[in-house]
A and B are shown apart, each in its own frame.
Chain A
Amino acid sequence: MIKRLLSFCTVVFGVLSLTFLLIHLVPGDPVEVMLGESASLADREALRADLGLNQPIAKQFGSYLSRLAHADFGVSIHTKTPIIALIKTRYPATLKLACLALLIGVGIGVPLGVYAALKAGHWQDLLVTIISVRLSAMPAFWLGPMLMLIFAVWLGYLPVSGMDSPSSIVLPALTLGFGLSAILTRMTRTSLLEVLNDDFIRTARAKGLSEPQVILHHALRAALLPIITIVGLQMGSLLAGTVITETIFSWDGVGRLLVESIEKRDYPVTQACVLLVALSYVVVNLVTDLLYRWADPRIKLAH
């Protein structure tokens, strides 16, 4: 447990260092890239001093860390607003999208996985497996436009993009959720199949329990643990997947903020967004790991 927390701390430190170094990877003078060649010398020097780029790199890193500790992400070069304010308005939208996508993913993936496991070896199983395995290989920037084409353009059921109506969230959430459901279908199927051959399932059946009772109360409960882990792990990549999905559907979240900041060469905002998404991922991973250990004591023994 302590080892896990320690490695968590080093990883967080590494993530901080890498995002800090990002701005130093800009070829040439980052200030010139951000302001353009026509900017006056005074403006450039002012920005350089603002970003602390005229100080030794160790000192820059130190002040970067201390600012972050005070939840100060700096100021956007483009809009001159504090980045923390931008994030406060954008992050909830991303979380909302990610949570709905998670619900969709679980809602489709787990039942389909159970169905495939019960029909193992039949054509239904094969069909579900082929569809789910292949769907998970399809990237969001493919699925999003296809869903948009079918449901918004051809059928006209849903808005094409934006956040104006409550139904605007459906298509982006489906785009993210489908990818997740594909992975969950496979995991549920595998994990349930393993359990179904166990002795306690035979006992439950021998007791005369009905088949739904055996599946829902006995088998699925035992099979749930790996499924929970996958959900936790996928929550992070879901956050990353929002970058592309939000851009497709003009959903004003952190992902779109990231892409917009890149287009405007607003590097402090880029840096903050990358850091935020990466840290969310690391934290979710840690929580999943700890929950998993707490739920299954065998893991503690194994390590």
Chain B
Amino acid sequence: MIKTLSYSILLFWLLAVLLGRLFQLDPNQIDLNAILSSPTTVYWLGNDDLGRSILARLLHGVEVSLLVSVSVTLVTMAVGVLIGMLAGFYGGKIDQVLMQVTDVFLAFPGILLAIAFAAVLGPGLLNLMIALSLTGWVSYARLTRGQALSLRDRQHVQAALSLGASVPRLIVKHILPLLTSVLVVEATYSLASVMIAEASLSFLGLGIQAPNASWGAMLRDGVRYMLVAPHYVLIVGLSLMSLILAINLGGDSLRDGLDVRQER
């Protein structure tokens, strides 16, 4: 039941984005008569502080948010897996150095390092993605290293090695396929966490810049006008909650289905 619920929420948002595209809702169209107005029949979810449609901006925000989280997840996974493979497969000095580096990255709690990178790189979509990628690869590197370390000694890998297979071939053909399910589950969780991180940075004004819509920035504006237009912050908050819950629940059911990771 929970699985169905989470998939339907995801489907709902996907449909909403498509419909928004279909009806060409403009997230930047300003209606000065409707500043901070409550939901009406014209603007279903009301308007923000510049009289822009909250619905249109929400839908635009999902697109940006998905773009960021999918691309950051793919980049961090590629980099992290490569580094983890190098560390786990070769071991020794390389492993020690690389793991020291990941330890240092892990020493920065939560989103702090991403904030720091975003701060020095300056705001903007691309810089936001760079900042999130610079901090996101660590978990993949750790995960892959652990797996590669144990898979290295498996008989089929040793057999391929003694038959003269090159290391890249070993990694791509014999180790990577065994990692797929673990990586898929990890990627689902990282989609949600990148989405949260993007919204946090945009909330702090370090991410996506005006006039582009982002849920984090909308939430910040909503807080600013909470006293006059409480519907603004409420709508954005509930939307955000539904999406994050759906992705996390989807990740849970995916994990249970693939049965690769223990309950944390």
A15–B244 touching, CB < 8 Å:
no
B104 within 8 A of A: yes
B204–A259 touching, CB < 8 Å:
yes
Q: How far is the CA of A48 from the CA of B115 in the complex (A)?
A: 24
A55 within 8 A of B: no
Binds B, one of A78-86, A138-146, A202-210: A138-146
* B108, B220, B226, B244: the one within 8 Å of A137 (CB): B244
A14 within 8 A of B: yes
User: Which residues of chain B (100-126) have a CB below 8 Å from chain A?
Assistant: 100-101, 103-105, 107-113, 115-117, 119-122
B246 to chain A, nearest CB (A): 11
Residues on A with beta carbons closer than 8 Å to the beta carbon of B101: 14
B223 within 8 A of A: yes
Residues on B with beta carbons closer than 8 Å to the beta carbon of A259: 204-205
Question: Which of A11, A139, A154, A240 gathers the greatest number of chain B CB atoms within 10 Å?
Answer: A139
User: Which residues of chain B (165-209) have a CB below 8 Å from chain A?
Assistant: 192, 196, 199-200, 203-206
Residues on B with beta carbons closer than 8 Å to the beta carbon of A31: none
Interface of B is mostly: helix
Please report B residues at the A interface, Cβ cutoff 8 Å. 100-101, 103-105, 107-113, 115-117, 119-122, 192, 196, 199-200, 203-206, 216, 219-220, 222-223, 226-227, 230, 233-234, 237, 240-241, 244-245, 248
Nearest to A274 among chain B residues (CB) is: B116
Other than the known A14-B103, A277-B108, what 17 A-B pairs have Cβ atoms closer than 8 Å?
A: A7-B103, A14-B100, A17-B104, A139-B196, A141-B203, A145-B237, A240-B110, A244-B111, A247-B203, A259-B204, A263-B205, A274-B115, A277-B109, A278-B108, A278-B109, A278-B112, A282-B107
Question: Closest 9 interchain pairs by CB?
Answer: A14-B104, A240-B109, A240-B110, A262-B119, A281-B109, A236-B109, A141-B203, A274-B116, A25-B120
Nearest to A24 among chain B residues (CB) is: B120
A244–B226 touching, CB < 8 Å:
no
A277–B112 touching, CB < 8 Å:
yes
B103 to chain A, nearest CB (A): 5
Residues on B with beta carbons closer than 8 Å to the beta carbon of A248: 223
Residues on B with beta carbons closer than 8 Å to the beta carbon of A17: 104
A62 within 8 A of B: no
Nearest to A140 among chain B residues (CB) is: B200
A243–B115 touching, CB < 8 Å:
yes
A22–B110 touching, CB < 8 Å:
no
* B104, B205, B227: the one within 8 Å of A11 (CB): B104
User: Which residues of chain A (243-271) have a CB below 8 Å from chain B?
Assistant: 243-244, 247-248, 258-259, 262-263, 267, 270
* B107, B112, B119, B199: the one within 8 Å of A141 (CB): B199
B112–A137 touching, CB < 8 Å:
no
A221 within 8 A of B: no
Q: How far is the CA of A282 from the CA of B108 in the complex (A)?
A: 8
* B105, B109, B117: the one within 8 Å of A25 (CB): B117
B214 to chain A, nearest CB (A): 12
Residues on A with beta carbons closer than 8 Å to the beta carbon of B107: 11, 14-15, 278, 281-282
